[in-house]
Amino acid sequence: MKNLFLDTNILLDFLAQRHPFFTDAEKIFELADKGDVSLFGSSLSFSTIFYVLRKLQTQAQLFQTLTDLTQSMTITGVDEKVVVEALASDFKDLEDAIQYFSAASFGGVDAIVTRNPKDFPNPQIPVFTPSEILDLLQKS
């Protein structure tokens, strides 16, 4: 499992240093920094991150944070096909559906990492929590 798609909650855990979740998110980013894994995330996450972090950082700081994030990961798109698939899916949460179909349409994603695997019903891409993916990567 080399190509990991990070759900918005994992990105926020890392960027906002949300405890107790930050530690595992940080380990995933450290693996990427060492070249052990490649990270992917949806373009949709950027607006959500901006909305949440705008209370914690100035606009200039936040734009730098988001710019730095683009250097750490590949951004997957959200287009008409992704939205149509998300709306037609059996996901209960539209944001999770968009995340999933953004990852699926990009191709090459080995796993989705989220704190809420149950929000991804019947996935064709394996879904793991941060601790599960870290355990799996450590064993391989």
- For the entire predicted model, the pTM comes to 0.94
pLDDT tier for residue 74 given thresholds of 50, 70 and 90: very high
CATH of the domain at 116: 3.40.50.1010
Short-list 38, 48, 44, CA closest to 13: 48
38: Cβ contacts below 8 Å, ≥ 6 apart: 2, 3, 4, 32, 73, 74
pLDDT tens string 82-98: 999 999 999 999 999 99
Its domain, for residue 107, covers 3-139
Give me the helices (H) in the chain, please: 8-15, 22-33, 43-53, 59-72, 80-88, 94-106, 130-139
Other Cβ atoms within 10 Å of 109 Cβ, number = 22
What is the number of structural domains in the chain? 1
User: Mean pLDDT score of the chain, rounded to an integer?
Assistant: 93
